[in-house]
Amino acid sequence: MSLASKITFLTPLLLALLLTSGCGKTGDNRHQAPDSSAPGMGELMAGDIAGFDTVSPGKALSFPADHGPHNNFRQEWWYLTANLTTTSGESLGLQWTQFRVALKPEPESEPESESEHGTALPGDNPPGIDDDWHSRQLWFAHAAVTRKHSHVATEQWSRGHSDLAGAGGSPFSVYLANWRWQSQTEALFPASLNVAADGKALGYRLTLSSQSPLQLQGDRGYSTKSFDAGLASYYYSAPFIDIEGDVLLDGKWQPVSGQGWLDREWSSAFLGLAQQGWDWFALRLDDGSALMLFQLREQNAKSFTHANRMWPDGRSQTLEVVSMTPIDSHQGYPVSWQLSLKGSSADNAEPSEQLNLRVEALNPDARMQLSTQYWEGPVRVSHSDSGSHMGEGYMELTGY
């Protein structure tokens, strides 16, 4: 989901700069610590939603159309995480996310210069569209590679223009400058993902495939983010992706293989002002199932939680979150957790099952030192004294 970890946190001055140029930034973690005085994510993501589309229950998602952008919602993203292994046996994680932010609603009388669900790609444009550099859409992307003893992250930004950044088309593509997800058809898979090396610090070129159905999160894709259901998003996932390719490590391209997870989400109002941040987990367990779990933290109030267990054949089941207990922290972020969940089997034919999971970061210092600070990196699920499963996955922590 990413729940928007990295979304409306850019200052107005930076937004103005991004409308006139593309830029990028690479972050490292050597002498920086989280800013404890920073506002919560609910405050950072607040804004006037008048004129934007809203999320409503009961709306059926439509594919392949909903793989593309939804320009009259304020925010959305395409978010891939992967747990990979080199041929020498080293474990690592990588992340790629591309975001779209609408600076203001699209005018009702705007000419049909875009497809119904997204930005036109080069070659698809009506006459004259490439001469129009005015855009209400801001695009930016994050990429990172995390190893046991290193973490490198970088980002790029662009205005919305078919020559610079966008999504959609046939075959489907999501791109910003020289970073590109390229499908072979209108579907998400099979596809390639190429992130160009930043100097000699970061880069990967991957092939992605999946034989499993897409998973609709929440109520058939309607994912609530508060107890009163006043905040919500449209949200779906591809938790079972096979990945092969190469990652740039120590200045050399190294073959890798493993599993990935893609999340798609869009909304005009994700969080409330009082919601400080979130803890999000995407875990693949040793019994072949996958678990998506998040909690939205609110000061002096109970956290809003949600968990969904999924199987490669398309089955899924909402679980009750019994407890989420931080065990250890690093640089102010809880990087080790004990998670307890319960629920019956997906077909309700078996007794209730309890999940007790010990989750630990591969690298405790996986802070993303970019336009905003947050933590994101690969994790391992290990047997504790009462552990029920082993596995691996990704974790994202914001608002600390």
- Given a cut of 90, whether residue 395 has pLDDT beyond it is yes
Q: Are 3 and 280 in contact (CB under 8 A)?
A: yes
**b/e map of 345-369 (b: 16 or more CB within 10 Å)?**
ebeeeeeeeebbbbbbbbbbbbbbb
Contacts made by residues 184-188, CB under 8 angstroms, sequence distance 24+: 186/64, 186/67, 187/63, 187/64, 187/67, 188/64, 188/67, 188/214, 188/238, 188/262
Q: Which two tokens stand for residue 246?
A: 């190469």
Helix/strand/coil (H/E/C) assignment for every residue in 80-129: EEEEEEECCCCEEEEEEEEEEEECCCCCCCCCCCCECCECCCCCCCCCCH
Question: What pLDDT, in 10s, does the model give residues 102-116?
Answer: 988 888 754 444 444
pLDDT interval class at 28 (50, 70, 90): low
Helices (H) and strands (E) in the chain, counts: 2, 23
Q: Are 135 and 19 in contact (CB under 8 A)?
A: yes
pLDDT for the residue numbered 120:
42
Tokens of 299: 């000061």
What's the predicted TM-score (pTM) here?
0.84
Instruction: Express each pLDDT in 212-257 by its tens digit.
Output: 999 999 999 999 988 876 789 999 999 999 999 999 999 999 999 9
Torsion sign across C-alpha atoms 375, 376, 378, 382: positive
pLDDT value of position 387: 65
- Residue type present at position 191: A
Q: Give the residue with greater pLDDT, 129 vs 193.
A: 193
User: Span 27-55, mean pLDDT?
Assistant: 58
- Other Cβ atoms closer than 10 A to 285: 18
The confidence band for 27, taking pLDDT boundaries of 50, 70 and 90, is low
340-348 mean pLDDT:
70
- Confidence category of residue 89, pLDDT binned at 50, 70, 90: very high
- CA torsion 267→272→275→280, rounded to 10°? -20
Q: Does residue 156 register a pLDDT over 90?
A: yes
Q: Residue 5's pLDDT band (boundaries 50, 70, 90)?
A: very low
Mean of pLDDT values over 172-180 = 97
Can you list the domains of the chain with their CATH numbers?
12-397 (2.40.370.10)
In the prediction, which pLDDT does 19 show? 39
